Amino acid sequence: MPLGKGTVDAPEPEAATAPDTGEYPVAKPGVPTPAQTTTGPIREQARPAQRDEIAELREQNRAIAAELSALRSDYRSMAGRTRLQSEHVQDPTRFEIDGRLDGPDGPLGRAGRLLTPHGEILTPAFIPVGTKATVKTVLPGAVADLGAQAVLANAYHLYLQPGPEIVEQAGGLGAFMNWDGPTFTDSGGFQVMSLGSGFKKVIDMTGEGGGEQPLGDDAIAEGKDRLSRVDDDGVTFLSHLDGTEHRFTPERSMQIQHQLGADVIFAFDELTTLHNTRDYQVTSLERTRLWARRCLSEHNWLTAQRRDAISLWGVVQGAQYEDLRRKAARDLRALSEEDRMSGGLGFGGYGIGGALEKANLSTIVRWVNQELEEDKPKHLLGISEPDDIFAAVEQGIDTFDCVSPSRVARNGAIYSLDGRYNVTNSRFKTDFRPLDPETENYTSQYTRAYIHHLFKAKEGLAATLATIHNEQFIVSLVARIRRSMLDGTYWEFKEEFLGRYYRGTQHHLAKSD
C-alpha cells in the first residue's frame, strides 16, 4: 500500500547469505596480507643496500651496452674498410702548401689551398657560419659576393629543424641553401656543452664567485637550466625548441652529417668548460678519443654504403693543459694512421676545439700542431677576433669559423680598420660617411647615419647591411693575411693592422654613449 502521512516505514528484510560449507571460500573484508596479493608482498621503499644493488645493476647494463656498441662499431669498421680498400676509395679532400711563414717560433704558419668536391679554398680562410643553413639576415648570393669561399652549418640545429632527411632529399646542404661552394658541418659537440652548462666557449677560470678554483664538474651558468647529460655512450638532451628528448651518439652524429652532405664534417666530441676539474678533463679526453674511433668506423661504413664524398676531421680537446692537448693530438693522429693502414679513410684534417683562455690561444694551438701531421689542414673552431686570427695563423691554422661577425652586427657593432664601434651611438646620427671609408662592399653605399636610423627604427635591413659589412671585413682580412704571407710582408702588415685597429677601438670606447 502506498505510504502516506502518518504511516511508519516497514523494516527491510535482511539479505540472505549462503551457508559457509567450506567448499567455496567466502571473501572476507579487510586488508590483504602480503601472501594474499597476486603480485606478492608490496615492496617497501628501497633501503640503502638495495639502492646500491640497483646502481650496480644499472652500471652493469651500461657496461654491456657499451660492449655491444663496440662490437657493432668494430664490425662496421671492418666491413667498411674492406669495401673501401677493394674499391680504392680515399678521402675526397687534398691539402697543398703554397708558402710558409718564417718567424721566431719556427715555420708552422703556411698559406695553402684545400681542394674539396665542391671547389677550392685558398688558405688561411675565414668560413662564415650559417647555423641553420643560412648566414642570418643575408642571402646566400650576398655571402658569395663578399668573398666567402665556404660556409659552415650546425648539425644539431639542422637535426632538430627541418631534419636531416629533408636536407638530404633536397640534394644536401649546398643544394638546400642554394650554395654551390664548399660546405662544413660541425658535430653538435659544442651544443652539448653550451646546453649542458650554459657557459660560453671562452670563459674566465675565476668563475662568478671570483675565486681562483674552477666551479666544478656540475657547474651551471647563472640563470640556465641543464638540458643535456653526457655518458660514455653519448649524450641525451632536451630540444631547446619544444623540450622533447633526443639522443646523440658518435654513430648518430655521423649519420646525420652524412645526410646533410657537407664536404667536411667533424667527429663528435665532448667540449668541456674551464670550470671542469682536471680529473674530469682526463676522463672526458678518453671519452672523446673513443668517440673519435667510433666516428671513424661509422664514417667508413657510411661512405662505403652511400658512396658519399665527405671528409671527416678529428677534434682535439684537452682544455688548457699541455700534456692533455698533446696527448689528444697524438691519439687522434694514431687513430687516423691505424685506420688508413687498415684500408679506412682516416681523418682528412683536424679541428682544434674546446674551452680556452684567450691569452693561451697561440700556445695551445702550437702544442697541438707540433703533434699533428704537417700535411693535414687544421681548423680552429669559433675564433674571429683580429688578434686571435693573427696568433692562430702563425701557429699553423688554415681555416676558421665563428658566429661573432654576424651576431655582433645584429646589435649594431661594426668592424672597421680604425677599430670596432657601435653604430647605434648617438654621435652617428648625423655621420654621413660609410661604415668604413676604406672598405669596399655592398654596404659601402649606405651611410652611418642611415644604418643608425635603421637600428633605431628596428628595421630588418639594419642587421642585413651590418652583417654583410662585418663578414666581408673578416673574410678580406684573412685574405690579406694570406697575400702578405706569400709576398713576405706579413710581420709588417700585422703590426700596422693591429696597431691601428686596437688604437681605434679604444678611441671609440672613450666616445661611446
Contact 161, 193 (CB under 8 A): no
Q: Which of 186, 233, 269, 398 is catalytic?
A: 186
Closest by Cα among 332, 410, 319, 442 to 378: 332
Q: Which of 263, 339, 388, 401 is catalytic?
A: 401
311 beta partners: 264
Contact 452, 68 (CB under 8 A): no
CA distances for 317 relative to 130, 166, 292, 391, angstroms: 24, 32, 11, 19
Contact 500, 417 (CB under 8 A): yes
What is the maximum span of the chain, computed from C-alpha positions, in angstroms?
A: 123
What does the DSSP assignment read for 208-273?
TTT-SS---TT---TT----EEE-SS-EEEE-TTT--EEEE-HHHHHHHHHHHT-SEEE-------
Look up residue 382 and give its three cell numbers: 669559433
CA dihedral 332, 478, 463, 433 (to 10 degrees): 170
Please report, as a single letter, which amino acid is at residue 460: G
Question: Is residue 186 flagged as an active site residue?
Answer: yes
> How far, rounded to the nearest angstrom, does the alpha carbon of residue 433 sit from its chain's CA centroid?
38
Question: Is residue 217 flagged as an active site residue?
Answer: no
Helices (H), 307-385: 322-341, 361-371
Rounded Cα–Cα distance for residues 335 and 328 (Å): 11
Residues with catalytic roles: 186, 401
